[in-house]
Each structure stands twice: as structure tokens, then as C-alpha cells.
Amino acid sequence: MNTWSNAQAPVLAGFDMASTIVDQFDEPLLTALIVDDSRFDRARLKRLCLRSGMKVEVVEAATLAEMRAAMDKTEFDLVFLDYNLGLDTGLDALRLVLAHPDQEQAIPIMVTCIARHDVVVEAMRRGCADYLVKEELSEDQLRKSVTTAIERRVLLAALMDARTFRNSVERTITRFSRTCGPEMRAIISSMLRTLRSLQRQDAIDPVLRPELTMLERGAKDIVVFLDELVSLVDGALDEAHRSDDAGKNRN
């Protein structure tokens, strides 16, 4: 049986949360915003949402202005963004969603025509959770897209929690090793010198010698622990720097 660390536990919790959302899609109620300048397409997507089994409350917007007004009133779980919005595009709408202070939890999903693969790539790169192809829209395809988007969002949140937990532990250990650590080392070094001096005295009670030996062994173990702690922190920092450098090189 594999043992998961505390840093990995949030990831497992994220998978459990995703499963709960997927298995019980009618709880809690989802709020969705459909942004499309076509009344027919908005009605069709709304109808598919309701028929897909999702318990969802749908709000419609035909323009970016209507979209802003809707986002100012309601915190949405899902935002469907049609790419063609008259003089604007779905990427313009996506930028508004990501920048809105009340829509941090909103999951944007781009709606495109089948020929616009470039739009899909750009939308995903800029922060869309998934995409829908108008020509392929169906109840099953919609549900799958929404489920995948929610699972991905939950997983990313769990990974961020795990990373935050790890960074917090590293900061705590670093502060300890660089503040209390040197003082503890000085105190223990002084204790070791005193213990060794006492053990060299012939007048010391023989009954106390095993106790002194045990104290000395414990003090040495603490010194070893402090050394390992410093090595652990230095190794973690080096690994973090390497990961940052690798990320910069990929970009």
C-alpha cells in the first residue's frame, strides 16, 4: 500500500471533490452565463444545458455590455463564450471574465465553429477550461465538456493547495534552521563539552556515567538532525530553482 504525504493529500481530496461534483450534478445548483449574439444559438445551448441532466440556472447575454452587467449581478460557475460576437470576439469576452473580481471561480468554455482550431488553441492558452464545437453540440457532448472542465479546475486547485502546503513547510523549516538552528547548535555544543568534561572526572558517581553517556548521545542526535534539516532545506531550494529555470526555458 502506498503512503501519501501531507503535501499530496490535497490532490486526493481534489479527486474526491471532482467525483462528488460529477456523480451528483444536481447538487449544488450551477449558474451559467451564455454569451452569444445569436438568439437561436443561445436558445439551443440553453436547451441542451437543461436536457443534459445538469441542474443549472442560465443567464443570457448578446453583447459584452450585457455580459458585464450580468457578471456584476451574479457569480457564475460556467461561462459559455461564443467566439463570433459581432465586432468583438470570444477572446475579448474571456479577458473580461478572467479580470472580473466576482468571477474568480467561473469556468470559461469557448464555443467555436469546427474550422477554427486556431481559436481553440489560443483560448486554451489564455485560460479557457474547455471548448465546444457548434456543429457537434449534443447533450452528451455538453455534459462531458462541463464535467471535464470542472474536474480540471478542481485538480488544478488541489495541486495549488499541495504546492502552497509544501512551500509553507519549507518556509517554516528554513526560518527554524536559520534562526533557532544556530542558537540550538551553540547550546548543544556547550552541553557536549560540559558532559565530556564531567565524564573525564574520576570523582563522578559511576551510577551517573550511563546517564551522561545517554545525554551525550541525545545531544549528538540533535546536531545530526539540525544538519539534515539544513541539507533538506538547501536541497528543496535548489530543486525549486531548477524547476523555475526549466519553466523559463520552456516558455
Statement to judge: residues 55 and 117 lie in one domain: yes
Statement to judge: residues 194 and 244 lie in one domain: yes
Rounded to 5 degrees, what are φ and ψ at 15? -65, -40
| Gap between the Cα atoms of 27 and 31, Å rounded | 12
Residue 4 lies in a domain: no
β-bridge mates for residue 80, sequence order = 34, 109
pLDDT in tens, 157-180: 776 666 666 666 666 666 655 665
Statement to judge: residues 108 and 47 lie in one domain: yes
Statement to judge: residues 182 and 143 lie in one domain: no
Statement to judge: residues 245 and 187 lie in one domain: yes
219 vs 187, 208, 226, CA distance in Å? 10, 17, 11
Query: What percent of the chain stands above pLDDT 70?
Result: 63
| Gap between the Cα atoms of 156 and 106, Å rounded | 14
In the listed set 160, 195, 217, which residue is the last one of a domain according to the structure? 160
Statement to judge: residues 183 and 132 lie in one domain: no
C-alpha cell at 55: 441542474
Q: What is the mean pLDDT of residues 131-137?
A: 85
pLDDT in tens, 111-128: 888 667 777 788 888 888
**Quick check: 192 pLDDT over 70?**
yes
| Gap between the Cα atoms of 39 and 62, Å rounded | 8
Residue 2 lies in a domain: no
pLDDT in tens, 12-41: 444 444 444 444 444 457 889 999 999 999
pLDDT in tens, 2-13: 444 444 444 444
| Gap between the Cα atoms of 46 and 139, Å rounded | 11
CATH value at residue 150: 3.40.50.2300
Q: By C-alpha distance, which of 2, 31, 6 is closest to 164?
A: 6
Q: What is the pTM of this model?
A: 0.55
pLDDT score for 211: 74
Residue 3 lies in a domain: no
Count CB-CB contacts under 10 A for residue 172.
10
Domain count, the chain: 2
In the listed set 129, 160, 191, which residue is the last one of a domain according to the structure? 160
In the listed set 160, 195, 221, which residue is the last one of a domain according to the structure? 160
pLDDT score for 245: 59
Residue 15 lies in a domain: yes
Count CB-CB contacts under 10 A for residue 143.
18
Statement to judge: residues 119 and 177 lie in one domain: no
pLDDT score for 238: 64
Statement to judge: residues 191 and 227 lie in one domain: yes
pLDDT score for 93: 92
Statement to judge: residues 150 and 205 lie in one domain: no
On whether the CB atoms of residues 152 and 107 are closer than 8 A, the answer is no
Statement to judge: residues 150 and 209 lie in one domain: no
pLDDT in tens, 34-65: 999 999 999 999 999 888 877 888 999 999 99
Residue 1 lies in a domain: no
Residue 72 lies in a domain: yes
| Gap between the Cα atoms of 205 and 13, Å rounded | 58
Q: Could you tell me the residue range of the domain that residue 47 belongs to?
A: 9-160
| Gap between the Cα atoms of 13 and 177, Å rounded | 31
- Pairing mode of beta strands 107-112, 78-82: parallel
